[in-house]
Amino acid sequence: MNDSARRCSVRTEPAGHQFEVAPDQTILEAALTQRIGLPYGCRNGTCGSCTARLLDGEVRYPSGKTEALEGQPPSACLTCQAVPTSDLVLRVAELERLSDIEVRTMPCRLAEKTRLNHDVMRLRLKLPEGQRLAYVAGQYLEFMLRDGARRAYSIANPPHDDALLELHVRRVPGGRFSDEVFEHLEERSILRIRAPLGTFVLREDTERPILMVAGGTGFAPLKAMLEHAFRRRIKRSIRLYWGVRARRDLYLPELPQRWAAAHPNFRWVPVLSEPDPDWNGRAGWVHEAVLKEHPSLGDFDCYLSGPPPMVEAGRAAFEAAGAGLDHLFSDAFEYAADSHCAD
């Protein structure tokens, strides 16, 4: 029997869970099917959220999608793309509470559509009467389109404020779905979603200070996490760095201003890569602004959310500054793709 035709066993450390992977099945697919709470994000080999350490055994990557392995040590394993060729032992931080949440497919109605700036639309979705979606702040949902394509957006509101599900949709030039949202989608339209998905969630079993880094609409899942943290009265130091091109690309800027006024442990720093002539704040790449204030990141939990180039640059720079993989969490939005995307 060749390697690709055998079932393989996977054991996780330190949790000690064991599960089987069918021939040609990825580690993550098998884990999710068997309710093992492995971390994941884009499921497309881009964001690195699913990275585990391969302690024993061998894998292959038939898809060839291994962008997130660049710069990683040889033991790094992308569970969303890796197919075992032998029994494995993985070191990975499991998320027990997410494995207990049911992923559901359901209809919803567009209750509200509000333009937040020149290229971001806020959608608020209402589930069928009497239903609520169990989810954790930072997770995302997928729209299931009629042609079989899917578009994924982070849920921007926390679970304690879930009468409506809030999404931030950025208009992408030539983006079929975002064009539909901006030009044609009407309030009261019926849509079909699958949710909740993803493991980009706040780790609460630690007292480490928190650094959050957003690029564009990567603010959405961080907004949900922050509002959850404030509700839980988490007292850890929290810093949000939000990178956009110019001042007009900041949307809902009054929110972090209010949070900073109400919560002494919170501070936010907007960063413009193409600053307006009268801009007096931080300029340049957002991850570089973080490192100017925090050149050593070994003591922080770091959360990065936004387009893949920003997330990839941030992860590499933060690892070089001492951020350990067990404390570096990311969510990369694949614009105009059928994976985790913002179009």
- pLDDT tens readout for residues 150-209: 999 999 999 999 999 999 999 998 899 999 999 999 999 999 999 999 999 999 889 999
Residues of the chain with CATH 3.40.50.80: 210-332
Prediction pTM value: 0.81
Distance, first Cα to last Cα, the chain: 43
Higher pLDDT, residue 49 or 207:
207
Phi, psi of 197 (to 5 degrees): -135, 160
Structurally, at CATH architecture level, domain 210-332 sits in: 3-Layer(aba) Sandwich (3.40)
Q: What share of the chain has pLDDT > 90, as a percent?
A: 77
The three-point CA angle 93-293-297 to 5° equals 25
CATH number of 3-98: 3.10.20.30
Q: Could you tell me if 111 and 125 are in contact, meaning their C-beta atoms sit under 8 angstroms apart?
A: yes
pLDDT digits (tens, 9 = 90+) for 285-311: 999 999 999 999 999 999 999 999 999
| Rounded distance between C-alpha atoms, residue 63 and residue 267, angstroms | 41
pLDDT digits (tens, 9 = 90+) for 99-133: 778 899 999 999 999 999 999 999 999 999 988 89
Paired tokens of 46? 């881009």
For residue 8, the 8-state DSSP code is E
Instruction: Give the fold, CATH level 3, of 102-197.
Output: Elongation Factor Tu (Ef-tu); domain 3 (2.40.30)
Residues of the chain with CATH 3.10.20.30: 3-98
Residues in CB range of 177: below 8 A, 6 or more apart = 143, 145, 149, 151, 343
338 pLDDT band (50/70/90 cuts)?
Answer: very low
Cis peptide leading into residue 14 (ω within 30°): yes
Cis peptide leading into residue 307 (ω within 30°): no
In the sheet that 266-272 helps form, which strands lie side by side, from edge to edge?
Answer: 282-283, 266-272, 238-244, 210-215, 301-306, 328-332
Residues in CB range of 259: below 8 A, 6 or more apart = 226, 230, 266, 268
Distances (CA, A) of 204 to 93, 97, 210, 225, 253: 13, 12, 10, 11, 26
In the sheet that 76-78 helps form, which strands lie side by side, from edge to edge?
Answer: 18-21, 8-13, 88-91, 51-56, 76-78
Paired tokens of 237? 């130091």
Paired tokens of 52? 């585990």
Average pLDDT, the chain: 92
- Determine the pLDDT at residue 336: 37
Cα radius of gyration rounded to whole Å, the chain:
20
**Which residue in the block uniquely carries the two structure tokens 């969303």?**
80
335 pLDDT band (50/70/90 cuts)?
Answer: very low
- Report the DSSP beta bridge partners of residue 154: 140
